[in-house]
């Protein structure tokens, strides 16, 4: 039956990467490990119907396993995503009284928060500027002021 479509009832999980975000200076400056980690974090988002943004949890060890790098590289990727405005920690990691650890909870700034006023995310990565760009702009501005 060549014309029939198979029903795919939840066997595949995918995510959408937005080109406008991927064309920002912040995204282009990310390491490949940080870019890979972002995709895995976005896969942990359950969609707009069950918006768990702000409650997305992924530990450094889990991330290292998923993207195939060492724990130190995964930790640097988390820090890089935070520094460039792609993720924000909403709850810090903790070790409970009984020894049960909880990984940090993250917000993806690209996506809206549940019960939020805005229908879009905060998109903090759009405000990021590289240090080289800032230095070049300052140097050019002072040179123009001297002239």
**Residue 141 pLDDT > 90, yes or no?**
no
Grade residue 132 by pLDDT with cuts at 50, 70 and 90: low
pLDDT tens readout for residues 32-83: 999 999 999 999 999 888 889 999 999 999 999 999 999 999 999 999 999 9
What is the reported pLDDT for 130? Answer: 83
Which H helix or E strand runs over 139?
helix 131-146
- The distance in angstroms from the start CA to the end CA of the chain is 77
Report the b/e string of 10-33 with b at 16+ CB within 10 A. Answer: eeeeeeeeeeebeebebbeebeeb
**Looking up tokens 């992924």, which residue turns up?**
58
What does the DSSP assignment read for 1-50?
A: -TTPPPP--S-----PPPHHHHTSHHHHHS-HHHHHHHHHHHHT---STT
Domain segments of the chain: what residues?
19-146
Residue 90 DSSP symbol: E
pLDDT at 98: 87
Which residues lie below 8 Å from residue 12, measured CB to CB, with a gap of 6+? none
For 76-130, what is each residue's pLDDT tens digit? 999 999 999 999 999 999 998 888 999 999 999 999 988 877 788 899 999 998 8
CATH architecture of the domain with range 19-146: Orthogonal Bundle (1.10)
């Amino acid at each position: 039956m060549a014309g029939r479509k198979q029903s795919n009832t939840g066997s595949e999980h995918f995510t959408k990467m937005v080109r406008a975000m991927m064309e920002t200076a912040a995204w282009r400056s990310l390491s490949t490990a940080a870019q890979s980690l972002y995709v895995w974090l976005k896969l942990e988002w359950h969609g707009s119907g069950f918006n768990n943004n702000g409650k997305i949890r992924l530990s450094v060890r889990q991330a290292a396993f998923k993207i195939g790098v060492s724990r130190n590289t995964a930790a640097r990727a988390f820090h890089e995503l935070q520094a460039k405005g792609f993720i924000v920690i909403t709850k810090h990691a903790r070790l409970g009284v009984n020894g049960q650890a909880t990984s940090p909870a993250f917000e993806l700034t690209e996506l809206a928060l549940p019960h939020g006023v805005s229908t879009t995310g905060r998109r903090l990565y759009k405000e990021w500027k590289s240090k080289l760009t800032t230095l070049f702009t300052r140097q050019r501005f002072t040179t123009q002021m001297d002239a």
